[in-house]
Amino acid sequence: MSDRYLNRELSWLEFNRRVLAIAEEEETPLLERVKFLAIFSTNLDEFFQVRVAGLLEQVAAGVSTTPPDGMTPTEQMGAIRQVAGELMRRQAEITEEIVIPMLAKQGIRFVNYDELDGDDRTHLDDQFRDTVYPVLTPLAVDPAHPFPYISNLSLNLAVTIRDPDTAAVRFARVKIPPILSRFVVMPDGERIVPLEQVIAHHLGDLFPGMEILSHYTFRVTRNADLSIEEAEADDLLEAVAMELSRRRFGRAVRLEVGEDMPVDTVDLLRRELRLDDSDVYRIDGLLDLTGMWTIAGLDRPDLKWPVWPHHTPLPLVPVDGSAPNIFDVLRTTELLVQHPYDSFAGSVEELLRQAAADPDVLAIKQTVYRAGQDSGIVGTLISAANAGKQVVVLVELKARFEEEQNIEWARRLEEAGAHVVYGFVGLKTHAKVMLIVRREGESVRRYAHVGTGNYNGATAKLYEDVGLLTADEDLAADLSDLFNYLTGYSRQEKYRKLLVSPFSLRSQVIELIRREAAAHDGHIVIKVNSLVDAQVIDELYAASAAGTKVELLVRGICCLRAGVEGLSENIRVRSVVGRYLEHSRVFRFGSHARGHDYFIGSADLMPRNLDRRVEAMAPVEAPALRSRLEEALDVMRSSKAVGWDLQPDDTWQPTAGTVDVQQELQIRAAARSSEGSDLPRSLSASD
């Protein structure tokens, strides 16, 4: 175990612990607590499907090399199993002992099938017969029927049956159909019955003439990572589609079972799934709490956070029902937007909408990473292509768990006549950039958007991100060069203003860190999702040793050790986890006396972002926009802010703050929208 770096996987688990803490906090509204239980489960599912799956492959292959933290794959798996098991048990305790009783007090009661009276059972019997039974497929295991394939993340019943004629005892599996709601809401809208209990009560209908001896719930997680990044492929679209078909057959990596499942049944499942004892997690409560999204979505606004409006930036506010011409606005001023406080629809989507409808717009070029299922952005691009504009879209087919949706969008864009590029084998395109080319008089002018988040209207209401809308000529020229690299055979590696990986981003960030380390008043503030890269961490340690003040706002993984004597005395690390997912990446270098250099973009400080992805970071140069970023960073860095601070002993401790960072930023966005420059005083980081 290294004394310089924290383990990436364990740091991620600590992030998910902070997510779980929101479900435990008394101040969190009840249905929001339910939502964070579901988020925790969804996060953990992905962690096992990707990170744990990869480690298990290394263990099986006998890999002994270690990451910078010094832990072998076997050592990492041992620690992961311990921490993940502890977190899963804690989640079950919060659910069963705190949240479910509190829901009952609010008239939302989880009830067992056995507790229902005759009329209620008749209702469920009818529902089972009409909507559940037709989609069930019981699968028996005997000499003529091999052990069935258990699909990834499926909830199942392990059933033991006996033939009364032969006394033969057999095992059978019944899959809980994922197409149906995880919970059945009774007609009164208040009582909820888990679907697996309804099915379990009707097992006699599935195995007529047999004796049902027992039934227990279980759930399997499989390796769902794609290997396409390392593949040789002539057709990337075909290669990704092929890998998607293989994903469902990935190796099992986790088995979740109910606390009451007997050892012999666990052993049967474990053997057939080829898992070790240590891959089995016993849960004292409901399995698959991702299903709690159904409960979180109940129409009970009294049990949720108040709805916060999304404000249109003042220069774009409609006048007499008509939106201002956004190109006229951007010719005179740059705009910085911070979603979801600033409306994504009223800024980024409005820019694209006007571009698609404007007869003077000649071309639109854009990257698409996670557009979502119902994408207004892609729909507008299709409309622009149908209108005869040159539309170029880089659709990243390898965006994890969005591959299938992105293949569909790519095909629809191509059908509309757009030029679609699929990215590179071995190199993901993660940059969030848009370029619009418009004829103005005898010349053309280019307009640009560079952001930190995906072009996704749904997640823009849930994720905190920032974006720059500009007509800056140098920046727009850089984007032209970047798109030429993405779509053609350009070898361009140098840019005027953009920091671009895998070319210059790493070296330029390190150069900026070293510049601050050499200054007598060096100061670095960085906000990212993850800080993993060992070289960057070493440079930050060196800056700290030189007396540079380093403040890091890291939402998730942080492999740097903070405040350690002789290593990082001048480094402070804070994590903010709230109702919105903190997703923006903001870099600030410099002091108040010398001035600040600001950059925003798509890159976290991880080897994959710096070396194996196409990322773009743009400078923010206008004084007013820098002040906007300064204000947001000040709120997050303030001693009054609610968050978590990384301690020298590597634990995360809640701050003593009382100010909800996101609520404070919402208040300031509302003030900007209605009052222009008449803003509340900015919280100082030293308040």
Closest CA to 109 of 186, 178, 191: 191
DSSP per-residue string spanning 569-625: TTEEEEE---SSEE--EEEEEEETTTEEEEEEES--BSHHHHHSEEEEEEEE--HHH
- d(Cα 312, Cα 199) in Å, to the nearest integer? 49
> 149 is written with which tokens?
């394939």
How far apart, in Å, are the Cα atoms of 521 and each of 224, 540, 546, 595?
Answer: 48, 15, 10, 11
Has 215 been annotated as catalytic? no
Query: Count of CB atoms within 10 A of residue 179's CB?
Result: 5
Those residues whose C-beta lies under 8 Å from the C-beta of residue 255, and which sit 6 or more positions away, are 218, 219, 220, 221, 266, 269, 270, 273, 275, 279, 280, 281
- d(Cα 398, Cα 396) in Å, to the nearest integer? 5
Look-up of token digits 């039974």: 133
Of residues 310, 430, 523, 583, which has the active-site annotation?
430
Beta bridge partners of 309: none
265 phi, psi to nearest 5 deg: -70, -40
> 356 is written with which tokens?
């698609």
Helix (H, G, I), strand (E, B) or coil at 681: coil
Contact 140, 172 (CB under 8 A): yes
665 phi, psi to nearest 5 deg: -70, -30
Query: Count of CB atoms within 10 A of residue 113's CB?
Result: 18
Beta bridge partners of 468: 336, 450
- Alpha helix segments (H runs only) across 429-532: 473-487, 505-518
SS (H, E, C) 12-67: HHHHHHHHHHHHHCCCCCHHHHHHHHHHHHHHHHHHHHHHHHHHHHHHHCCCCCCC
**Exposure pattern of 643-663 as b/e (b: 16+ CB <10 Å)?**
bbbbeeeeebeebebebbbbb
- d(Cα 499, Cα 515) in Å, to the nearest integer? 16
- CB under 8 A, 24+ apart: contacts of 109-118: 109/190, 109/191, 109/192, 110/191, 110/192, 110/193, 110/194, 111/186, 111/191, 111/192, 111/193, 112/193, 112/197, 113/193, 113/197, 113/198, 113/200, 113/201, 116/193
- d(Cα 170, Cα 422) in Å, to the nearest integer? 49
Work out the angle between the directed axes of helices 348-357 and 376-386 (0-180°, nearest 10): 10
Active site residues: 430
